[in-house]
Chain A
Amino acid sequence: MTKEKGANIHRRDFLKSGAALASVTLASGVTLMAMGQGVAAGANPNVRWGLLIDANKCPSDCSACISACSNEHGWEDNGLPTDPQWIRKITLKDKNTGHENTLPLMCQHCEKPPCVDVCPTGASFKRADGIVLVDRHICIGCRYCMMACPFKARSFVHEKVKGQKTSSPRGKGTVEGCNMCVHKLDKGEGTTACVTACSATGNNAMIFGDLNDPSSDISLALTNYPSVELRDDLRLNLGVRYLNI
């Protein structure tokens, strides 16, 4: 079966061409775009957002990234087993030497996410720029993704939620997890709440950036230092990598 001619045009490109037509010519040579085209770009398929976390720079008594995430997205972990954890601190101990390491763990934004594979409704999905999200409009709360995730990165909302952040809607009966502060990225802020908080403490244990851009801070650090991904035996190609663990 042959494809209809023109069917390959992406919707966004089509919209862009429409926006170009809608531009207003004020005077010869001066053009005013009716809609901000730069803002409307959306998730860029050429970008892959990632995080690099240096466990040596992460003190065991610091939880700045966790409280920053909690404030940014409005979730609260009061210690109940059913409370959500978008990000948490874990401790690794070498049994032979007794050496302990702490590091923050959140959704690793896999290239091949198991949560997306198992989702029966398509609610769990990966955006064009590599961010793995839950579309809670169609999430039925079955929690298959929570079982599939090797990192226990997702939480189920058990209680009714009130006073959500406008930029981070969340509600009872759906699954949620780290969204890499997608609302900030779409605004072009180019950083996440946890990374901002980490550098504010002076620890600078986290670097955020575009893994596909060879000149970005994160790519340079990845080239220069030996980083690892957790559970690399699963070959999921994670977006979050660690140093010194």
Chain B
Amino acid sequence: MSVLMFAQLAISIWDLGAKMKKLLILVLMIFAFFSTAVLAQSLFPNIPKATGNEHPQGNEFMRINHMDMLRHERDMTMREGIRDVDNSLAQCISCHVVKGTDSKPVTIESEEHFCRVCHDFAAVKLDCFSCHNSVPEEGLKTSFKHPDANGSLNAVMAYLEETAK
């Protein structure tokens, strides 16, 4: 093969490459898009939806502060006997209940349990449920309304009515 022929072949391949380049980039982009979607599904916690009313402070606040709120109110309840707290563990469990395939609430043994979803992801050990029950007791109110949900008179009245029972 002469040097001239080799040069001609090289140019034609380069031409082809220039045309293919756009296609290749497009294919790569589509692949990247789907692979991140798959990654998001498999790596990041898929937080289960809760029943009941939204947190008045917002989810982001709860994600950062729930442990401090629980600790503060556990001491109030345990040591001082003040039990009409807004943020009891039983209340968390009651709204954030996840039902399994048998339509019964899943316990902390299951990876789908609300608390475990994030705690497994963050690799933070959860000690609450070595003593506390991880599923709501039957008969526990699930439609608890935060008294400061929206500050309206109806909310306060509903709260009073519910706690009076």
Q: Please tell me the size bucket of the interface on B.
A: 20 to 34
Can you name the residue of chain A whose Cβ is closest to the Cβ of B133? A164
**B58: interface (CB < 8 Å):** no
Number of A residues with CB within 8 Å of any CB on chain B: 38
Residues of A within 8 A of B163 (CB): 36, 39
A171-B131 contact given A34-B156, A166-B90, CB 8 Å threshold:
yes
A137-B74 contact given A12-B80, A42-B82, CB 8 Å threshold:
yes
**A47 CB → nearest B CB, Å:** 10
Complex Cα gap A183–B83 (Å): 8
Complex Cα gap A185–B137 (Å): 20
Residues of A within 8 A of B81 (CB): 42-43, 127-129, 182, 185-186
Contact A174 B147 (CB under 8 A): no
**A35: interface (CB < 8 Å):** yes
Can you name the residue of chain B whose Cβ is closest to the Cβ of A125? B79
Can you name the residue of chain A whose Cβ is closest to the Cβ of B139? A166
**B88 CB → nearest A CB, Å:** 9
Residues of A within 8 A of B125 (CB): none
Interface of chain A residues 17 through 43 with chain B (CB within 8 A): 24, 26, 32, 34-36, 39-43
Contact B82 A40 (CB under 8 A): yes
**A122 CB → nearest B CB, Å:** 10
Contact B133 A174 (CB under 8 A): no
A42-B133 contact given A24-B156, A36-B160, A36-B163, CB 8 Å threshold:
no
Complex Cα gap A24–B155 (Å): 13
**B68: interface (CB < 8 Å):** no
**B101: interface (CB < 8 Å):** no
A135-B80 contact given A164-B132, A166-B140, CB 8 Å threshold:
no
A187-B74 contact given A163-B133, A165-B137, A166-B133, CB 8 Å threshold:
no
Can you name the residue of chain B whose Cβ is closest to the Cβ of A137? B74
Interface of chain B residues 132 through 161 with chain A (CB within 8 A): 132-133, 136-137, 140, 147-148, 153, 156, 160
Contact B74 A127 (CB under 8 A): no
Contact B80 A42 (CB under 8 A): yes
**B8: interface (CB < 8 Å):** no
**A170: interface (CB < 8 Å):** yes
A-B contact pairs, 14 of them (CB 8 A): A26-B153, A32-B153, A35-B147, A39-B83, A41-B82, A42-B76, A42-B81, A42-B83, A43-B81, A128-B80, A128-B81, A165-B137, A166-B133, A166-B136
Q: Chain B: residues with CB nearer than 8 A to chain A?
A: 74, 76, 78-84, 90, 107, 130-133, 136-137, 140, 147-148, 153, 156, 160, 163
Give 14 A-B pairs besides A166-B136, A170-B131 with Cβ atoms closer than 8 angstroms: A12-B80, A26-B153, A32-B156, A35-B84, A36-B160, A40-B82, A42-B82, A43-B80, A127-B80, A161-B131, A164-B131, A165-B137, A169-B131, A186-B82
